[in-house]
């Protein structure tokens, strides 16, 4: 099922750009404010290492809020704060390097933040959230493609929604420029980084 249902009238059927978004009555109850549940959510990344393999990591400490508007998707919002010091790639020395001034400089810039500015439907159950990503006090636009995984009432009676998705960035655009040349050509760490989001959020009572 779709969080927002795209429906065409006879007048708008031809040009896709003129299609209008209307509320899906079956999902009207999902409209409201949500808090991201960090215990059941993950924010991670994947980056190519030494040109031959991928390093994966995540940020264990994060929080955020969502506002879902079933009648007007553009009024939906997402705000996420991530603590850089919680980075985890499975190797303590590498985590320490990533926290250092070579990369995130976690002591001086403890947070990575995302603030949305718009939402649009791009498929039956996929949505594009556009906003501003701030790392090391550098703010640049970011578009995140998300798939709506569904909604459910958990065993405690809380209404939950789930989304998963990804985005790609060039880390150098946010001042993460450290690298080392390889003797065989290429560099130690790719500039391109894939960000991943697996979000479970609980509706406010």
Distance of alpha carbon 89 from alpha carbon 59, whole angstroms: 9
The pLDDT assigned to 124 comes to 75
Q: What is the pLDDT of residues 46-92, one digit of tens each?
A: 999 988 999 999 999 999 999 998 777 788 999 999 999 999 999 99
Average model confidence (pLDDT) across the chain: 88
pLDDT at 28: 67
Cα separation of 146 and 129, whole Å?
7
What three-state secondary structure class fits 103? Answer: coil
Q: How far is CA 200 from the centre of its chain?
A: 12
CA dihedral of residues 58, 46, 203, 21 (deg, nearest 10): 170
Instruction: Give the pLDDT score at 19.
Output: 46
**Helix (H, G, I), strand (E, B), or coil: what is residue 107?**
coil
Q: Which pLDDT tens digit goes with each residue over 156-189?
A: 999 999 999 999 999 999 999 999 999 888 999 9
143, burial (CB in 10 Å: exposed 0-12, middle 13-18, buried 19+): middle
Across-strand partners of 196?
44, 166
């Amino acid at each position: 099922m779709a969080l927002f249902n795209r429906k065409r009238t006879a007048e708008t059927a031809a040009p896709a750009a003129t299609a209008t978004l209307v509320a899906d009555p079956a999902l009207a109850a999902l409209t409201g404010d949500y808090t991201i549940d960090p215990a059941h959510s993950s924010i991670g990344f994947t980056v190519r290492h030494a040109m031959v393999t991928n390093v994966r990591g995540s940020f264990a400490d994060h929080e955020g809020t969502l506002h879902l508007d079933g009648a007007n998707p553009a009024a939906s919002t997402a705000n996420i704060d991530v603590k850089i010091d919680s980075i985890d790639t499975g190797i303590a020395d590498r985590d320490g390097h990533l926290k250092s001034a070579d990369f995130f400089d976690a002591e001086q810039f403890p947070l990575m933040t995302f603030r949305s500015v718009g939402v649009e439907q791009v498929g039956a159950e996929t949505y594009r959230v556009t906003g501003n990503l701030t790392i090391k006090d550098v703010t640049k636009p970011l578009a995140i493609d998300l798939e709506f995984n569904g909604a459910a009432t958990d065993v405690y009676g809380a209404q939950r929604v789930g989304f998963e998705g990804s985005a790609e960035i060039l880390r150098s655009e946010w001042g993460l420029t450290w690298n080392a040349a390889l003797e065989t050509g290429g560099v130690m760490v790719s500039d391109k980084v894939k960000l991943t989001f697996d979000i479970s959020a609980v509706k406010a009572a």
